[in-house]
Each structure stands twice: as structure tokens, then as C-alpha cells.
Amino acid sequence: MTETARTVVFDAPGGPEVMHIVDRPVGEPGPGELRIRHRAIGLNFIDTYQRSGLYPMDLPHPLGMEAAGVIEAVGEGVTHLKPGDRVAYACQPPGAYAEARVMKADQVCPLPGSISFEQGAAMMLKGMTVEYLFHRTTPLKRGDTVLFHAAAGGVGLIACQWARSEGITLIGTAGTDEKCRLALDHGASHCINYRTEDFVARVRELTGGAGVDAVMDSVGKDTFEGSLDCLKPLGMMISFGNASGPVPPFDIGILGRKGSLKLTRPVLFTHLADHKTCQDMARHLFTKVLDGDVTIRIDQRFPLDQVVEAHRALEARTTTGSTILEP
């Protein structure tokens, strides 16, 4: 009999309620593939973009981009992993919200024994996002200043620690004083409560009117224009998410008028598409964790069958740090 695995799927775009659990067959891995038994699953904003239809997908489709577990079998040609290995990954296509799955092996990474499955599931997508923001998007050096929105979220808390370890001044934003304190505790040099302060005016004050070298903005529509106003001339605007909705069309000439600004809209999975780059990024992230520069904070845990409640909490912005699902 073909083995099955409980898997979260959705049949039509919509709110969290469109997700449901089905038993899906899990077969043997083919060439370049492996079968993994998940021990912990990561929850990310991109999952809500896919579920809502912001990022269209062929339906029905499973969800989830990030998990950690144990290899059960490998197909022909897989040389960097073997059955019994502890692993973690963040990659396309979605399908991590499951007890087990068969998937391509290239973006699955060996997980050091001193890093737990929960940490692995909570850190791969978020941590490698921070890795490419700080090391592969625009040149940043010790002494530079960046503005980082949503600094108390899963990506943000890693970014605060990463910046501190690199000697970079990070000015964060968050929606409550409690979240601001959390960002400061994790290495942010300053944190602005955007509900009670004008973050543009505060950034200008903190930088003596100069502005920041780069903005790292996963919020999107609500912060985009203000973020541009926080940059110094020739500064880099990195728009890497849409938590408040996609950035609407705008006149590209505004970049010139505001100081010859640069703008990029990077995607993690472009970097991860190359096997060597993916493995290098993962090793860099693991080194940061093993050296104590970055601690992975997991503030919410939900059983897999409570995935609807998990998505509602994430979209309501009531979560801090990382959230995992337990298969």
C-alpha cells in the first residue's frame, strides 16, 4: 500500500479558512530527489501571499516553503545527502505543510547536530533572506546604517542580530513599544514605533539629516514612499515583501528627484536556485547561529491541524519572532 502523509492544501484563493488537511500519497524519490520526514515546519508571510492569490498558483496546491526533518530515502544522483541525515530547507515549490514529502534535493541542506529541528524550520527562509539582504544585494560595510521595517518579526529579529555582528547600525520599526523593546534586545541600535511616531522624521533625526545607506522593507504599500524619504543620496531601497499589500505603480523619475536612489525587488529563491549558492548561504547562516551571533527565537507553536489559526495570527501581526507548525 502506498504510504500517505497528512498535508495542508487549498483549492481556491482566499482567507485562512480555505486551507484543509488531506492524506496525500508519498512515493519513492526519483533521480535528483529525496523523501523527507518532517519534524518541524516553518510559517512565513509568503505562505499567506500564495494562499490569498497575491502570488497565483495552479490549484489545488499544498503550502509551505520551509521545514526540517530526517531523510528517509534518496534517488539516483543525490550525493550530498543520505538516509538518516538531519536536514533543513527553504525552497520552491510549496509543500512543506506536511508530515512527509518527496522533493528535489538540491536546496535541502545538512543540518548541524547542535541545531534543533525547530530552530532549523524557523531559520532557513528567514535567515537566508537576511544573508542575501546583507551580503548579496548591495555592498554594506561596518559603520553603515540601514532602516529595517518589521524589526520584531521572524526575519527582523535575525536581521537585528546580524547587523550587530557585522558592525552595522540598524534602525528598526515596529507597531508596539513591546515589539520595539524586543528589537532593541536583539541588537537594533534604535527602534521606532510607527504607530506613535513619524518614522521618516525620526530616521532623519537619528542620522543628523543624512538618511540611511539602505532600507530593507518587507511591508510594501504602507511604507514604500516613506522608506524612499529615509535614504541618503545614492541609497538603496530593497523592497522584499508585501505584508501590507503590493507597492502600486509609481513614476520612476522620483528616484532621480530624491537623490539618484537605487531600487531593487529581490527574491530569495533566485539566489537559492543555484545548488552551490544555496549550500553556501545555509553554511553562512549556520555559522552565525553556532558562533552565538544569531539566536533563533520561536515564540509561537501550532499543531499542523491548527494551521488556520496560525495564519490568522500571522496576518493579524500578533506574532513575534518565528512561528512553527508541528506535524
Asked if domains 4-125+269-326 and 138-265 share a fold, the reply is no
pLDDT for the residue numbered 61: 96
Identify which of 36, 178, 18 has the alpha carbon closest to the alpha carbon of residue 102.
36
208 DSSP 8-state letter: T
Q: Is the pLDDT of residue 85 over 50?
A: yes
Fold category of 138-265 in CATH: Rossmann fold (3.40.50)
Q: Which amino acid, 138? A: T
Summarize pLDDT for 228-246 with one digit per residue, the tens: 999 999 999 999 998 888 8
Percent share of the chain, pLDDT over 70: 99
Is the pLDDT at 215 greater than 60? The verdict is yes
- Nearest by Cα to 219 from 151, 295, 312: 151
- How confident is the model at residue 310, as a pLDDT? 97
Give the Å distances, CA to CA, from 211 to 171, 231, 237, 259. 11, 5, 12, 11
CA distance 163 to 243: 22
- Quick check: helix, strand or coil at residue 134? helix
Domain ranges of the chain: 4-125+269-326, 138-265
Q: What is the pLDDT of residues 295-317, one digit of tens each?
A: 998 999 999 999 999 999 999 98
Q: Are 121 and 153 in contact (CB under 8 A)?
A: no
Q: What pairs with residue 236 in β-bridges?
A: 214, 262
For residue 1, what pLDDT band results from cuts at 50, 70 and 90?
Answer: very low
Per DSSP, what are the bridge partners of residue 103?
34
Q: Return the pLDDT at 319.
A: 87
Residue 112 has pLDDT above 60, yes or no: yes
Give the pLDDT score at 242.
Answer: 86
Q: Could you say which architecture CATH assigns to the domain 4-125+269-326?
A: Alpha-Beta Complex (3.90)
Q: How confident is the model at residue 2 (pLDDT cuts 50, 70, 90)?
A: low
DSSP, collapsed to helix, strand or coil, labels residue 272 as helix
CA 228, CA 251: separation in Å to the nearest integer? 13
Task: Report the pLDDT averaged over residues 206-222.
Answer: 96
Closest alpha carbon to 145 in 174, 171, 181, 173? 171
Q: How many CB atoms lie within 10 A of CB 141?
A: 9
Under DSSP, the state recorded for 246 is: P
Residue 116 has pLDDT above 80, yes or no: yes
Q: What percent of the chain has pLDDT over 90?
A: 93
Q: What average pLDDT score do residues 256-262 get?
A: 98
Question: For the residues 217-223, what does the mean pLDDT come to?
Answer: 93
Helix and strand numbers (H, E) in the chain are: 10, 16
pTM score of the predicted model: 0.92
The per-residue pLDDT for range 158-172, each reduced to its tens digit, is 999 999 999 999 999
What is the rounded distance in angstroms from the CA atom of residue 289 to the CA atom of residue 281? 13
pLDDT tens string 9-28: 999 999 999 999 999 999 99
Coil, strand or helix at 139: coil
Residue range 163-192: mean pLDDT, rounded: 97
In whole numbers, what is the pLDDT of the chain averaged over residues? 96
Query: Running DSSP on this structure, what letter comes out for residue 105?
Result: S
| pLDDT exceeds 80 at position 253 | yes
If we measure between CA atoms, which residue out of 135, 128, 137 comes closest to residue 107? 128
